Amino acid sequence: MSSGSSALILGIESSCDETGAAVVRRGSKILSNVVASQIPVHSPYGGVVPELASREHLRNILPVVRSALSQAGVTYPDLDAIAVTEGPGLAGALLVGISFAKALAHSVGKPLIAVNHLEGHIHAVLLEESQRAAESDNVHARSGVSLALVVSGGHTHLYLAQPRDTSWTYRNVGRTVDDAAGEAFDKVAKLLGLGYPGGPWIDALAPHGNPDAVPFTFSQIKAKVHRKGDPAALDPATATYFSFSGIKTAVLRSVHVHEMEAGIASRRAALAAIPNPQPADALALCDRRTLDLIASFQRSVIDDLRRKTFRAAEQFNADRILVSGGVAANRELRVRFTSAAIEHNLPIAFPSLALATDNAAMIAAAAWPKFLARDFAQSGLTAEPALALGRTSR
Ligand code: KG4
Ligand code: ZN
């Protein structure tokens, strides 16, 4: 870092359906964090349409970056580096952010840093932790092993994260074998005629139902058979596997058995007639059976995540738990994970709601250790839709 540097990184995020830009100082102080959401664009389809996502990113990226700089009160020459999400994510969406960041870094003469989106989610928690420590003048020394659950629309992963000098190392010790937990929230909400993305709708409606009404069970998941030398293969002796496609089918079965289809169709139509419908609008449109189904679904998913996460924490003797990603915004998840952490006498941390879902502040924060290590991207940087984080072996 040059003397007189203000240690500012501009982060850019475009891996899915949010265009984000943020300016973060020293990986720990957010000067601005701007997110342009595409929810209204994808809502009518009940899921992200990749082609539309790329187009929206193209439309939004320049205004979002400009507004992040102006909110932070900085200009391009003030920046020390530009960081961008390399993957995982949608190829076309990632490419918009990457192409923009490359061109910008080149034209303003700043180094470019490639960031893994999953590492970004973990750094959302670390960033706020350092920010709080700085505000309270606490000397903040990180040590020990954190077990990080990254739980979002595209991912359900467990990582052992450990600081090493200025950087972090990651070991992937768990993952879903099919759908991500957030994907299950989105699909169940869609099949019950609720809005998109489904997580916040289910979160808001679940407290109105009985979580014990429908006994969902999670079948035993067999370890995936991997080809020899497959870099994605987890250590079979210690791997944790999640599976969330079965519960979606179980919800669908319950809908058929109880002949709920007509009610769902009329709820969908009623919500479609409301401009910008919110979860509160859906409450009056849900009968007891629907609310019970929603509450039972949410409870089962959260309990499965909680049980397996705390079992892995014990297995690896983790010093604390971090939970991040869009599903970490869920209120019941926070309550149930927090009480389990108290029982297990383990510290636990979540990001604030704004940093739980996709944003660029977490990308700029994850880039800071890379900046210190001079770990800059090559000129051939391109989108890596299936990028993995960390090693998988012992
Ligand atoms: O991290 P994120 O913004 O994007 C991905 O990287 O996937 O996560 C989005 C996911 C969606 O599946 C959304 O339904 C879910 O996070 N989500 C929630 C809540 N808020 C967002 N799931 C449960 N409860 C919530 N409050
Ligand atoms: Zn994400």
- Which residue's C-alpha comes closest to atom 19 of ligand 1? 199
User: What is the CA(201)–ligand 2 centre distance, in A?
Assistant: 18
61's CB contacts (< 8 A; 6+ apart) are 12, 14, 19, 21, 96, 97, 100
- Closest atom of ligand 1 to 356 CA is 1
Q: Which ligand is nearest to the CA of 195?
A: 1
The Cα 95–Cα 100 span in angstroms is 8
CB atoms inside a 10 Å sphere around CB 251: 21
Residue 92 near residue 55, CB atoms below 8 Å: no
Q: Do residue 270 and residue 197 come from a single domain?
A: yes
- Closest atom of ligand 1 to 180 CA is 12
Q: Do residue 42 and residue 137 come from a single domain?
A: yes
The Cα 80–Cα 261 span in angstroms is 56
Q: Do residue 35 and residue 105 come from a single domain?
A: yes
Confidence at residue 1, expressed as pLDDT on a 0 to 100 scale? 45
330 lines ligand 1 (CB under 6 A): yes
In a domain, 362, yes or no: yes
Q: Which residues of 149-164 are buried (b: 16+ CB within 10 A; e: fewer)?
A: bbbbbbbbbbbbbbbe
Confidence at residue 130, expressed as pLDDT on a 0 to 100 scale? 87
199 lines ligand 1 (CB under 6 A): yes
Confidence at residue 143, expressed as pLDDT on a 0 to 100 scale? 74
If one counts the domains in the chain, the total is 2
Q: Which ligand is nearest to the CA of 179?
A: 1
Confidence at residue 131, expressed as pLDDT on a 0 to 100 scale? 86
Confidence at residue 323, expressed as pLDDT on a 0 to 100 scale? 98
Confidence at residue 226, expressed as pLDDT on a 0 to 100 scale? 58
Residue 102 near residue 381, CB atoms below 8 Å: yes
Confidence at residue 3, expressed as pLDDT on a 0 to 100 scale? 40
Q: Do residue 216 and residue 275 come from a single domain?
A: yes
Q: Do residue 222 and residue 328 come from a single domain?
A: yes
Beta bridge partners of 170: 161
In a domain, 241, yes or no: yes
Out of 37, 185, 187, 302, give the residue to mutate to test ligand 1, the one with the largest number of ligand atoms within 8 Å of its CB. 185
326 lines ligand 1 (CB under 6 A): yes
In a domain, 154, yes or no: no
Q: Do residue 114 and residue 181 come from a single domain?
A: no
Out of 327, 363, 387, give the residue to mutate to test ligand 1, the one with the largest number of ligand atoms within 8 Å of its CB. 327
Its pTM stands at: 0.94
Confidence at residue 141, expressed as pLDDT on a 0 to 100 scale? 56
323 lines ligand 1 (CB under 6 A): no
Confidence at residue 169, expressed as pLDDT on a 0 to 100 scale? 94
Instruction: List phi, psi (to 5°) of 377.
Output: -75, 150
Quote the domain boundaries for residue 199. Answer: 172-346
- Closest atom of ligand 1 to 121 CA is 1
Q: Do residue 227 and residue 333 come from a single domain?
A: yes
Residue 195 near residue 43, CB atoms below 8 Å: yes
- Give the closest residue to 154 by CA, choosing from 392, 389, 394: 389
In a domain, 166, yes or no: no
- Closest atom of ligand 1 to 331 CA is 26
Q: What is the pLDDT along the chain (394 residues), one digit of tens a residue?
A: 444 468 999 999 999 999 999 999 999 999 999 999 999 899 888 889 999 999 999 999 999 999 999 999 999 999 999 999 999 999 999 999 999 999 999 999 999 999 999 999 999 999 999 888 888 776 555 679 999 999 999 999 999 999 988 889 999 999 999 999 999 999 999 999 999 999 999 999 999 999 999 999 876 666 665 556 666 788 888 999 999 999 999 999 999 999 999 999 999 999 999 998 999 999 999 999 999 999 999 999 999 999 999 999 999 999 999 999 999 999 999 999 999 999 999 999 999 999 999 999 999 999 999 999 999 999 999 999 999 999 876 5
381's CB contacts (< 8 A; 6+ apart) are 86, 98, 102, 112, 114
In a domain, 66, yes or no: yes
Q: Which residues of 325-340 are buried (b: 16+ CB within 10 A; e: fewer)?
A: bbbbbbebbbebbeeb
386's CB contacts (< 8 A; 6+ apart) are 87, 88
- Closest atom of ligand 1 to 117 CA is 6
In a domain, 351, yes or no: no
The Cα 359–Cα 128 span in angstroms is 13
Domain of residue 311, CATH code: 3.30.420.40
The Cα 390–Cα 157 span in angstroms is 11
